[in-house]
Amino acid sequence: MSAAPLLSVIIPTLNEAHSLAATLAHVHAAVGAGIAYEVLVSDGGSTDATLALAAAHGARALPAPRPGRAAQLNFGASQANGSILYFLHADTLPPAGFGQLIRQYQARGYRSGCFRLRFDVRHPVLWFSGWCSRFNAPAFQFGDQSLFVEKALFDELSGFNEQMLLMEDVDLPIRIKHRARFVVMPQSVVTSARKYVVHGVLRTELTHLAVQTLFLAGTPQPTLLRVYQRLLQRRRPRQMRQRLG
């Protein structure tokens, strides 16, 4: 890694010790030849080994002054040295040569973009969700797809909106598209389906669809949060009996 990296990979974390080491190892292996880069882990107060693992795997471990994904992402960006920021979830693996791909698309005039999405388990609902991620439209874009953006453009837009409780990673690309060309690259990231496994694939997908639709319709953030919690955290009576039994 160079002292003046082109690409700053920024990963927000909160108790991600179970997945972070594998993600960091993959990032180092997959970034691509000839790409100067750095990795920053912006942590929201982990109580597990997240920060130690980050440092041990070649990342800058940064305790963020404020918890919350938007605040952590903005803090990571403020500490970055690269001219391009690449925001990545701790349980998501970018495609081989991702740094080279980002550089190629930036050279073609795209100041921001994301990859398509694929899940690490097979399920028809998840396959369809991933298939939809090819469309360059807010209704079909998700934070799991990762996001690259020129740092100058990110700063011009004041980064992620820290007042948002949900959908901050959908909001930023919408604002970017008003200022610059945005691309959905044909390669895919692979993300963990652990939340879908815990809460149920169909329930989780319908919850995301409902919240994203309400957000795009202008629903206030407190209402979005209530809907999200009510739909995703409520369990069926049978599930509750099984857990209590």
SS3 226: helix
What pLDDT was estimated at residue 233?
A: 76
Strands, E assignment, the chain: 7-13, 37-43, 60-63, 84-87, 92-93, 112-119, 147-150, 182-191
Task: Between 225 and 238, name the one with better pLDDT.
Answer: 225
Task: Between 1 and 60, name the one with better pLDDT.
Answer: 60
pTM of the full predicted structure? 0.92
What pLDDT was estimated at residue 238?
A: 37
SS3 84: strand
What pLDDT was estimated at residue 240?
A: 27
CB 117 within 8 A of CB 167: no
* Predicted confidence band of residue 235 (pLDDT cuts 50, 70, 90): low
CB 188 within 8 A of CB 95: yes
Number of alpha carbons in the 13 Å side-chain half-sphere of residue 93 = 17
∠ Cα 126 128 131 (to 5°): 110
Give the rounded percent of residues in the chain with a pLDDT score beyond 90: 91
Give the burial class of 200: count Cβ atoms within 10 A of its Cβ; 0-12 exposed, 13-18 middle, 19 or more buried.
Answer: middle
Q: Give 73-115 pLDDT, tens digit per residue.
A: 999 999 999 999 999 999 999 999 999 999 999 999 999 999 9
CATH architecture type of domain 7-192: Alpha-Beta Complex (3.90)
Break the chain into its structural domains and give their ranges: 7-192, 195-245
Residues near 132 by beta carbon (within 8 Å), at least 6 away in sequence: 140
Which residue, among 128, 135, 146, has the nearest Cα to 205 in the 3D structure?
128
- How far is Cα 206 from Cα 208, in angstroms, rounded to an integer? 5
Give the rounded percent of residues in the chain with a pLDDT score beyond 70: 93
Report H helices in 57-143: 69-79, 98-107, 124-132
Res 241 pLDDT > 50: no
Task: Between 237 and 101, name the one with better pLDDT.
Answer: 101
Residues near 80 by beta carbon (within 8 Å), at least 6 away in sequence: 8, 10, 38, 40, 151
Q: Give 144-167 pLDDT, tens digit per residue.
A: 999 999 999 999 999 999 999 999
